[in-house]
Chain A
Amino acid sequence: MHLLIALKAFFLVLFNGRLSSQVNDVLVHRSEPAGLPTAVPSQSDETPTVSSFAEKTLPAKGSSGHKPAVAKPVKPARSEALTLLAALQREGRLLDFLKEPLTDYSDAQIGAVARDLHRDCGKLVERMFNVQPLLTEAEGAAIEVPVGFDAARYRLVGNVGATPPLKGALIHHGWQATVCELPVWNGSDAAAKVVAPAEVEVK
């Protein structure tokens, strides 16, 4: 099993520039002398770009010296969830779509709008979270669940009481964010709950 994963990893790293730099990062972090202050744990599995994680958790000095660090950690003036919702509305009109009753429209009308929404919101999610399958095996393939697995990574159904290591078929490969780069909002407190401003054309 280890050999298979190692081979798979080898080819993935060879042909995927992004992954290879991630792997390199993991290796670099591992090889640090134990005496140095350790990097923030979440850092090792993110791509080396500025993220809002980095803003809240300054990387320890000496670790990965060439990564951008943001000088002043800014405490967001409103929930990041609202900032994300505002971005989805701004770039993909998601809120307009969800708030509109569908009963009046044909599937073709909805479909036409959904295509653009899919493209624009999809791009945004890709940019901010770069979501990748959690497992690289094909769905339907036989896989082995490691001993002492993390219940947040694997959700088991069926004969879950069997003796480990557990074997089964992969139903859904799962998703995970590889980055988390949300916009930072620094507007006034009064506007903290505004998701989209009212638009007025001045005559």
Chain B
Amino acid sequence: MSQYVIGIDLGTTNSVLAYAPLAEETPQVQILPIPQLVAAGTVESLSALPSFLYLGTAAEAESKSLDLPWSANRDFAIGTLARRQSAEMPDRTVGGAKSWLAHSRVDRHQAILPGNAPDDVQKISPVTASRRYLEHLVAAWDSAMPDAPLAEQVVVLTVPASFDASARELTREAALAAGLPVGLILLEEPQAAVYAWLDETGDRWRKMLRPNDTLLVCDVGGGTTDLTLVGVAEENGELVLRRLAVGNHLLVGGDNMDLTLAHFVSQQFAEQGVQLDPWQSVSLWHSCRAAKEALLAEGGEATHRITIAGRSSRLIGGSKSIEIARQQAADLLLDGFFPQCALTDRPARRRASGFQEIGLPFEADTGITRHLAAFLQAHGTHGAPVRPTHLLFNGGVFKAAGLQNRLLELVGNWFAPTETGSAREKPVALPGLHDLDHAVARGAAAYGLAKQRGGLRIRGGTARSYYVGIETAGLAIPGAPRPLRALCVAPIGMEEGTEADVPSGEIGLVVGEPAQFRFFSSSTRKQDSIGDLVPHWTEEEISETDSLETTLPADDTLADDYVPVKFHARLTELGVFELWCNSTKNDQRWKLEFSVREDTE
């Protein structure tokens, strides 16, 4: 019997756990302090667990300096200490594991992190890193609540809205391996931000929103940007919320901004003849975050002094400082990440080259506003872009009020009332969401409560449509692959808890051999319904993800060498997408799994 609902935000740079007791009449969502190493042999409980993993040396393990209250003889550290180590010892520190989960060009089960690890370091896979962060959270909970183990509670885990089915499946796999319950619910982060806002405003939200309003959720995390549209409608006199669209996975976030400012400042230092070492670079990074917030605040300072302390014990004697002007920071950050642009502008495309280094596909265009323009345009109807009426900001980045203002101003200009157009008001920011660092975890817990008690829920179903690649029969041309068509097996908006046969011709599966299917997804093709065959598409429209496979056991009951099957799609109540092959001859069926190789650790 569950006593709590638990919301977990497994972030790219920080993880947070929020919870609320189920038994209370008006449960308050609270944040669990997470014990973690902050220095060798020193454990402190903090409200967030930095998502960094430091792989220690044998000496550190022997001196027991990486031990935790619940675990002895550890040779790795997670959290604040690991984040501190990441600058000075990047080849022993794993960061950004979550971004790797969504990167389908590499095998996420392969031990590839940290990239340049020395020989004595046992590398780990992105899935294992995520599992360890979650194991830490589970252990922190279990030692704080010994009478209510996490595995027996209602747990909601958030994922970026832009995660496709395979990235979600990998997250789920890491979560189950870490000891989260099988009944684990996955929730999209921007939706969690909306739930946090609903929880914060109580019943007042019904007065703030009207039918046909459209909410634009701008969730800019440490490493990723997630865009979501939520529509407001009226049904039987009640306001209901529906998720209308989600954006693509954008690998640009607040850390990029702080590093940009830090890079600029370190150049200024270099001009004074001061070279910074890695430790000073971290402290510079933190100073730049503070500078960003101070300079881009409303009525903020005209100049901000950044001081880098000396490395030795001579603090004052070794320190150097420079001043940066508000205008310089604004030029760098606003024009670099939130540039003024027209609604018709598009992000610059990545230059395709024959040789690509293995690494994360960071955005070629860091202009979030251009991505936003493309997003609104892509989800409009009849060629007109979507017109949001309200903006909801989430992510620590928006503590710098100047960034919120820039977005509001820009979206306001895009949809300014014109003489010919409608005289509707400009989009406004929704009040609230003060706890920007913890909102996603809070919202996840609030969602868990709503699900348990029948409160308001955002509807939406799948954010993407899914396709299986089918080679067309026809005249074979020597040397050319057969043309590929995409069979739609799940349309956008497929609801949780529903399933459907995919209308198509029969597909023959060979017995005793793995059958592999290329698998694709799209966040924009709303026009496709189940069973549609798409002959042509562009890479922006439909992108390929991990392939799916199944192996039919050589079974005596099967008379033939191959079995004719049809696809059957299913979206579980927990938001897990499944694709089955149903035999057309009898009741047998086989589930398609994402192609995963054995863990090589």
Q: How far is the CA of A29 from the CA of B449 in the complex (A)?
A: 25
Q: Is the CB of B313 within 8 A of A187?
A: no
Among A65, A83, A113, A191, contact of B316 (Cβ-Cβ < 8 Å): A113
Q: With contacts defined as CB atoms under 8 Å apart, how many contacts are there between chain A and chain B in the complex?
A: 112
Q: Is the CB of B45 within 8 A of A115?
A: no
Q: How far is the CA of A159 from the CA of B562 in the complex (A)?
A: 102
Q: How far is the CA of A199 from the CA of B30 in the complex (A)?
A: 39
Q: Is the CB of A183 within 8 A of B42?
A: yes
* In the complex, per-residue mask of A85-112: 1 if CB is within 8 Å of any chain B CB, else 0: 0110010010011011010110001101
Among A21, A24, A183, contact of B38 (Cβ-Cβ < 8 Å): A183
Q: Which chain A residue has the least Cβ–Cβ distance from B88?
A: A201
Q: Is the CB of A74 within 8 A of B69?
A: yes
**Which residues of B have CB within 8 Å of A100?**
313-317
**Which residues of A have CB within 8 Å of B287?**
116
B302 interfacial contact with A, CB 8 Å: no
Q: Is the CB of B305 within 8 A of A68?
A: no
With A86-B39, A97-B315, A186-B41 given, is the CB distance from A113 to B33 under 8 Å?
no
Q: Is the CB of B44 within 8 A of A184?
A: yes
Report the minimum CB–CB distance from A200 to chain B (whole Å). 12
Q: Is the CB of A69 within 8 A of B146?
A: yes
Q: Is the CB of A93 within 8 A of B309?
A: yes
Size of the chain B interface, CB-CB below 8 angstroms: 40
Q: Is the CB of B313 within 8 A of A99?
A: yes
Q: Is the CB of A86 within 8 A of B42?
A: yes
**Which residues of A have CB within 8 Å of B40?**
187, 197
With A110-B316, A119-B290 given, is the CB distance from A185 to B42 under 8 Å?
yes
A49 interfacial contact with B, CB 8 Å: yes
Among B24, B33, B69, B315, contact of A66 (Cβ-Cβ < 8 Å): B24
Q: Is the CB of B42 within 8 A of A70?
A: no
A72 interfacial contact with B, CB 8 Å: yes
B2 interfacial contact with A, CB 8 Å: no
Q: In residues 280-336 of chain B, which contact A (Cβ within 8 Å)?
A: 287, 290, 305, 307, 309, 311, 313-317, 319, 321
Q: How far is the CA of A172 from the CA of B477 in the complex (A)?
A: 90
Among A71, A183, A197: residue with most chain B CB under 10 A? A183
Q: In residues 11-57 of chain B, which contact A (Cβ within 8 Å)?
A: 21, 24, 28, 30-33, 35, 38-46
B4 interfacial contact with A, CB 8 Å: yes
B64 interfacial contact with A, CB 8 Å: yes
Report the minimum CB–CB distance from A22 to chain B (whole Å). 12
Report the minimum CB–CB distance from A110 to chain B (whole Å). 6
Q: How far is the CA of A181 from the CA of B317 in the complex (A)?
A: 33
Report the minimum CB–CB distance from B335 to chain A (whole Å). 27
A42 interfacial contact with B, CB 8 Å: no
A174 interfacial contact with B, CB 8 Å: no
**Which residues of A have CB within 8 Å of B191?**
none
* In the complex, per-residue mask of A67-83: 1 if CB is within 8 Å of any chain B CB, else 0: 01111101000000001
Q: How far is the CA of A99 from the CA of B64 in the complex (A)?
A: 30
Q: In residues 340-365 of chain B, which contact A (Cβ within 8 Å)?
A: none
A170 interfacial contact with B, CB 8 Å: no
Main secondary structure of the interface of A (DSSP, over half): loop
Report the minimum CB–CB distance from A25 to chain B (whole Å). 10
Q: Is the CB of A71 within 8 A of B313?
A: no
Q: Is the CB of B39 within 8 A of A90?
A: yes
Report the minimum CB–CB distance from B376 to chain A (whole Å). 34
**Which residues of A have CB within 8 Å of B43?**
183-186
A163 interfacial contact with B, CB 8 Å: no
Q: Which chain A residue has the least Cβ–Cβ distance from B143?
A: A71
**Which residues of B have CB within 8 Å of A185?**
41-43
Q: How far is the CA of A65 from the CA of B313 in the complex (A)?
A: 47
* In the complex, per-residue mask of A180-203: 1 if CB is within 8 Å of any chain B CB, else 0: 011111111001000001010000
Report the minimum CB–CB distance from B2 to chain A (whole Å). 13
Q: How far is the CA of A42 from the CA of B418 in the complex (A)?
A: 62
Q: How far is the CA of A76 from the CA of B256 in the complex (A)?
A: 40
B63 interfacial contact with A, CB 8 Å: yes
Q: Is the CB of A116 within 8 A of B309?
A: yes
Q: How far is the CA of A72 from the CA of B67 in the complex (A)?
A: 15
A145 interfacial contact with B, CB 8 Å: no
* In the complex, per-residue mask of B84-95: 1 if CB is within 8 Å of any chain A CB, else 0: 000000000000
**Which residues of A have CB within 8 Å of B31?**
49
Q: Is the CB of B21 within 8 A of A188?
A: no
**Which residues of A have CB within 8 Å of B473?**
none
Among A68, A74, A83, contact of B145 (Cβ-Cβ < 8 Å): A68
A143 interfacial contact with B, CB 8 Å: no
With A183-B42, A184-B42 given, is the CB distance from A65 to B315 under 8 Å?
no
Q: How far is the CA of A69 from the CA of B32 in the complex (A)?
A: 11
A125 interfacial contact with B, CB 8 Å: no
Please list 26 pairs of residues, one from A and one from B, whose beta carbons are closer than 8 Å in the complex, sorted by A's number.
A50-B33, A65-B21, A66-B24, A68-B33, A69-B146, A70-B69, A70-B143, A70-B144, A86-B42, A87-B39, A90-B39, A97-B316, A104-B317, A105-B316, A105-B317, A112-B307, A113-B307, A113-B319, A115-B305, A116-B307, A181-B44, A181-B45, A184-B42, A184-B44, A184-B69, A186-B69
20 additional A-B pairs beyond A66-B30, A86-B42, A187-B40, beta carbons within 8 Å, are A50-B32, A50-B33, A50-B35, A68-B32, A71-B146, A87-B38, A87-B39, A87-B44, A97-B316, A99-B313, A100-B315, A110-B316, A113-B309, A181-B45, A183-B39, A186-B41, A186-B64, A187-B64, A187-B65, A188-B64
Contacts from B to A (Cβ < 8 Å): 4, 21, 24, 28, 30-33, 35, 38-46, 63-65, 67, 69, 143-146, 287, 290, 305, 307, 309, 311, 313-317, 319, 321
Sorted nearest first, the 5 A-B pairs with minimum C-beta distance are A187-B41, A68-B144, A183-B44, A96-B315, A66-B21
